[in-house]
Structure 1
Amino acid sequence: MKLLDNKIYLASKSPRRRELLRQIGINFEILLLRDANSRPADVSETVLPDELPSDYVKRVTKEKAEAAWNMMLLRKLPLRPVLAADTTVVLNGKIYGKPANRAEAYEMLSALSGSTHQVLTSIAVHFHQKQLESTQTSEVTFTKLTKKQIDQYCDTLEPYDKAGGYGIQGSAAQFISHISGSYSGIMGLPLFETAQLLTEAGITLS
């Protein structure tokens, strides 16, 4: 289906995802969903019983894309493809979301210290009856962190809006000895896969 314009809606408040879309020349508008801070949330990010990390991140992303599409229809906004994404950190099969407080951030970073974990980022593009989805998995290895390093990092604002309690694009980069996969995926939006899905949805990339 031919698009009215070469523009999408981004269903995310992440400044990193906005930055990454601009990096590949995507024209977008923000379409924010309600989160847990403005109850009731449009999409629950609670992990279901026995839900695998890959199933979890795909489900949440799909629900975000559907909720944003329905919001667009409800508001009678111009019809455009909706892009949603979700990122989760996984260590030994355990999902690490965004820490709610300093204690949780400290616990997460202590667990990641000296270990290799996975970062799963799922993206979905919803347009009319079509929903395209892709999940990218990367591996990140942390050096062994001292208590002082963890304390100092927890004193910053970085851990508290990021899965796993850290951002690879920030000062936590000094903790990371090796990555395998997609740097942009670890940031929260794998650009290769995103470009592929948006092209399939009819968006022309510059």
Structure 2
Amino acid sequence: MLAVVVVLILAAGLSDAVILSKCELKQQLETGLNLTLPNYTDVLAQIVCHAQLSSGFNTNTIKTIPEPKEPNSGHGSRHRRSPGGKGNGRPSSKVTPPPHDSSEENEVWTLYGLFQLSDHVVCSSTQSKALNLCGLTCNKLIDDDTSDDIKCVQTLINAVTAPIPDPKTAKHINEMLVLIHQPECITVKATSYFANC
């Protein structure tokens, strides 16, 4: 009887999670994004590659990491995430924190959903002061509806490609991009990456 109760609790905790395939996410992004960038199909492949490596295409992924630093800030480079588990039945990873600097305390950032978007930049949570660029509560990024996640990615693309981005917004977006940057995805080409779609 106890085993049945445990299985029901675990199933309820994971019920909102959806794990997409590469081809499903590609199709959803093609429908939901308005990419006017040169080589937009390769950019699309890079976005899907990022989702694959950072969340495993799982819409319910939550990770916590130390606050990232912009590459030119002189505070170190991106640290590699390693798999692990933490709370709420959701996958989680931690980053090895940078060496302790007593002059500056790092905040913790929480990354949400399919694209691992930060609570300090795109959504609001009770745990952080947020820019809330996408005007969402962070829980909207971990449900099975990917349309708001995709709209948020579009908002980020628009903010980054704006002729004169707001300096504060640009700083936070750049910090988040450093954080989620997947070097393996930079050279991805749509023709080979989406060959099976």
For normalisation by structure 2, the TM-score amounts to 0.26
Identify, as 1 or 2, the structure richer in strand. Answer: 1
Q: Which has the higher contact order (CA 8 A, sep 6+)?
A: 2
